Amino acid sequence: MSARLKLTLSYAAVVVVSGVLMLTAVAVYLLRYVPDTVEFFPNRSDLTRAFIPAVVVVMLVLLAIGLGGGWLLAGRMLAPLDRIGRAAQLAAQGSLSHRVALEGPRDEFRDLADVFDSMLEQLEANMAEQKRFAANASHELRTPLAISQTMLEVARTDPHRDVDALIDRLQQVNARAIELTEALLLLSRADRRAFTREIVDLSLLAEESVETLAPLAGRRAVTIDVGGDAAHVLGSPALLQQLITNLVHNAIVHNLPEGGAVTVRTHSRPEAVALVVENTGADLPAHRVATIAEPFQRGAERARDVDHAGAGLGLAIVQRIAQAHEGSLVLTPRAGGGLNVTVWLPHPYPGVHGFAAQA
């Protein structure tokens, strides 16, 4: 049975049972005071014979009222669910732009419809972002494959080809394809939030990332200054390590040709935990800074080298990892040139500040 039929039968049952109880009360408490002897007219038997047909008619009327009224009331009550069901059916067919937009007073059905509309909005936004990202990713992945194919075709027709140079070039192209694939997988992992969480100290992760990237900074004559407070957060150590590594790497390669500097600081504020990475470099206009966290965007044009293949996913990965940890990424141009990047992450326990002092 449908929910509407179940509600109808329930309403009708309530009405009929109420009527039976009322009529039973009349029969029990009133008819017992009427003598059942031939000396009295009408006596109890006469009233009973007259009362039963009327009871039957009343019960049939009550049953009809219960069924008809219950059917109408159930329809009105379930109408919002019908609208939500139609919206869900359209969403299942791929149309995410439809909204329930339920009107009327705020009740349980209105709250359910609003939550469903919010879910549709989020799904529509995620679907649009995934389509755009998939188109960009397919374009980026097609490029190294096309380059490899062209190089192999040229080498096949060139009898005087330099095999060693061809192998080196193919290795570089293949390394870039691997780097881009790993970045895409990392983005997918962050988006799905498929990771376990534990308490980690950003200051220790920052020191580890700086130590790992110290040779790269040395080759580029970039000095790195790392320090700050103990900053505990709840998250994935691997993903947070990747977040800091991407920021420090980005700060090194997007720096001055000689004598550049990178500053890494961790702070434990009352409202949240902050990781700040600042680097010197070229002047960046505000409108350019607002877009460099998008996938496949680059902060400045530069020649690609062994240290920086230029996939354009570094800050995009940082932003997705921060969002997966309920955090945010703030980019601001640095006075005098360069970039200031601040990652805000929540404290490991809501309402508890100074966790580092207690740990």
Same domain? For 154 and 241 the reply is no
Same domain? For 299 and 316 the reply is yes
Angle at 274 between CA 268 and CA 280, to 5 degrees: 130
Residues of the domain holding 349 = 198-358
Same domain? For 31 and 70 the reply is yes
Query: For residue 125, what pLDDT is reported?
Result: 78
Query: For residue 168, what pLDDT is reported?
Result: 82
In-domain check, residue 141: yes
User: What parts of the chain have a pLDDT lower than 50?
Assistant: 299-306, 308-311, 354-359
Query: For residue 206, what pLDDT is reported?
Result: 95
Query: For residue 110, what pLDDT is reported?
Result: 82
Query: How many C-beta atoms lie closer than 10 Å to residue 186's C-beta?
Result: 19
CA dihedral 48, 50, 55, 58 (to 10 degrees): -160
Instruction: State CA 126 to chain mean position distance.
Output: 8
In-domain check, residue 107: no
Tell me the DSSP string of 289-351. Answer: HTTTTSTT--SS----BTTB---S-HHHHHHHHHHHTT-EEEEEEPTTSSEEEEEEE--SSTT
Encode pLDDT of 75-95 as tens digits: 877 788 888 888 888 888 888
- Long-range contacts (CB closer than 8 Å, 24 or more residues apart) made by 186-195: 186/239, 186/242, 186/317, 187/133, 187/295, 187/313, 187/316, 187/317, 187/320, 189/239, 190/239, 190/317, 190/320, 190/321, 190/323, 190/324, 191/320, 191/324, 193/324, 195/235, 195/236, 195/238, 195/239, 195/324
Query: For residue 263, what pLDDT is reported?
Result: 96
Query: For residue 143, what pLDDT is reported?
Result: 64
Same domain? For 293 and 202 the reply is yes
CATH code for position 322: 3.30.565.10
Q: Is the Cβ–Cβ distance between 99 and 90 less than 8 Å?
A: no
Same domain? For 26 and 55 the reply is yes
Q: Please state the length of the chain.
A: 359
In-domain check, residue 114: no
Report residue 225 as tokens: 């200054």
Same domain? For 149 and 204 the reply is no
Same domain? For 186 and 210 the reply is no
Number of domains in the chain: 3
Domain end, chosen from 39, 74, 95, is at 95
Query: How many C-beta atoms lie closer than 10 Å to residue 260's C-beta?
Result: 22
